[in-house]
Chains A and B, each alone.
Chain A
Amino acid sequence: MSEWWTYALSDFLLFSPRTYYRLFELYNAAVWPGQVPALALGGALAALPVLRVSWGGRMAAAILAVCWLWVAWGYLYTRYATINWAAEYMAMAFVGQALLLVAIGVLGGRLRFGQRPWVGIAFVLFAVAVQPLIGPLAGRTWAQVELFALAPDPTAVATLGVLLAAQRVRWELFVLPLAWCAVGGATLWTMEAPDAWVLPAAGGLALTVALARAVTGPRSCAAVESRGSPDRG
């Protein structure tokens, strides 16, 4: 399709902001009371790095895999795709991320929490408890709230948090959440949403922290490993 280069970003905004946020309103009503276990999963995700249990990394990966799968099916494929034909491809990418989480984190056991998971936990807490408040603060209704495990934006940010809490940066798991920060941010920016900066800022900050850790990581990781990792199963 040689014509793609002739399109501007706004040409791919197929819907109005009203339709976009109304989608969340109808979605939230349809999945109620699913918001309760969604918040519980978010709380568990924030607690796991602190608990320092041997199965913490596997459990976090499993929780995230379930969330990415649900968002792929419950939101992107069955809801968002009704107003955005590209959402079917987005759903496939989310399924891909879920499979990566299972392969690397659950089966491979290669997502282990480090000694200093606080930055990552802050990201998770932001995604679970703060990010959903931004929409209502920006003037949207509570019925249109976007929650972790149900909506893609906080799910992507929470995933970045878990990855930052891990002992080593797993770049293969970083790619899709970062890509979503760009896609979601671009969508909101095109809609002229006042909170369009949140996702790119979160993604950029996560990438900066991860790069800094990648540079300084080998020495600190070696130090951690010499002391023994508490959650190495």
Chain B
Amino acid sequence: MRGAPGLNRRTLIGAMAAAVVLRPAPGRSQSRALVDKRIPSSGEAVPAVGLGSWITFNVGDDPEARAACAEIMKQFFAAGGRMIDSSPMYGSAQAVIGAGLGTLGTPPVLFSADKVWISPGARGPDQIERSRRLWGVPRFDLLQVHNLLAWEEHLDTLLAMKAAGRVRYVGITTSEGRRHREFEQIMRSRPLDFVQVTYNILDREVEERILPLARERGIAVIANRPYREGPLIRRLKKHPLPAWAADADCADWAQFLLKFIVSHPAVTCAIPATTRVAHVRENMGAAYGRVPDEAARRRMAAHVAGL
């Protein structure tokens, strides 16, 4: 169990992080400020929209597709993005990210988030090192135990790496509601900086226990599958965006869905994945401007549920 002093500090910082922080966006109108949030364990600011790589960046050796991914990353950074998330499970995604970073010269704002996904846990260090080489970064900002696979051994490894300064943050992930009970137990018992869960306007189970627990424990939350891998937004795009969405500076359905997610006070960052530059711009638009309050969130959820 974590000691009381750490818990108190984290709880305090977590409470501070509950507030959405606004700061001017470079190259943008001062009236459209960047919505960012702070990592509770450190106070470091992170833009509320990141970039996922599941499926979209797994393009193998295809030079044309790799160039397209590099362009996605370029536009992502240009729009103020920082966090890119990947995993050894995602096929060639790590190598494609590494190639893109090489093309772009690895922007210093990059927040590299990767995972360890291997069993037995003793093979974790080798996999992490292989991942680091594929990315071409000196160290990862965040390493997460993917889907709790061999989590006890991997967490020991990651926490030792953090103590040695070889990674900045440590976390665990799950998706689509898997193993939430065990997930909660780990959140309660281990000193985590991040958790990653599936959270979107339709999949809201984490609102009941995991998100409140994250606030209580001062743990940053990454929301994956914000569009249910695509079908959700494709369905919504058949309907007109309600006029009142403009009150939260939502210009399209992508921003509507993302702002719903990042407006939850416990959520630090959503990580939509895309293969199109236009979609990157849409997604990153959700990192700017006003965010819906609780009443607006309820209205957004009810509206989507009624479609």
A residues engaging B (CB < 8 A)? 1, 3, 6, 8, 11, 13-16, 18-19, 22-23, 26, 79, 82-85
Contact = CB atoms under 8 A, between A and B. Distances in A.
A109 to B, nearest CB: 41
B196 interface: no
Interface of B: 55-56, 58-62, 65, 89-92, 119, 147-149, 176, 178-179, 275
Contacts of B179: 3, 6
Contact of B65 (A1, A8, A22, A84): A22
A19 B55 CA distance: 9
Given A3-B147, A82-B91, A84-B91, A19 B62 contact: yes
A16 B230 CA distance: 11
Contacts of A15: 55, 58-60, 91
B60 A82 contact: yes
Contacts of B149: 1, 3
Contacts of A23: 60, 62
10 interchain residue pairs of minimum CB distance:
A82-B60, A83-B60, A14-B91, A6-B178, A83-B91, A15-B58, A19-B59, A83-B58, A14-B58, A1-B119
Contacts of B147: 3, 6
A210 to B, nearest CB: 35
Contacts of B178: 3, 6
B60 A3 contact: no
Contact of A22 (B56, B62, B89, B92): B62
A13 B55 contact: yes
A117 B273 CA distance: 51
A79 to B, nearest CB: 7
Contacts of A11: 176
A112 B19 CA distance: 76
Contact of B148 (A3, A14, A19, A26): A3
Given A3-B149, A14-B89, A82 B61 contact: yes
22 contacts: A3-B178, A3-B179, A6-B147, A6-B179, A14-B90, A14-B91, A15-B60, A16-B55, A16-B275, A18-B275, A19-B59, A19-B62, A19-B65, A22-B59, A22-B62, A22-B65, A23-B62, A26-B62, A82-B60, A82-B61, A82-B91, A85-B91
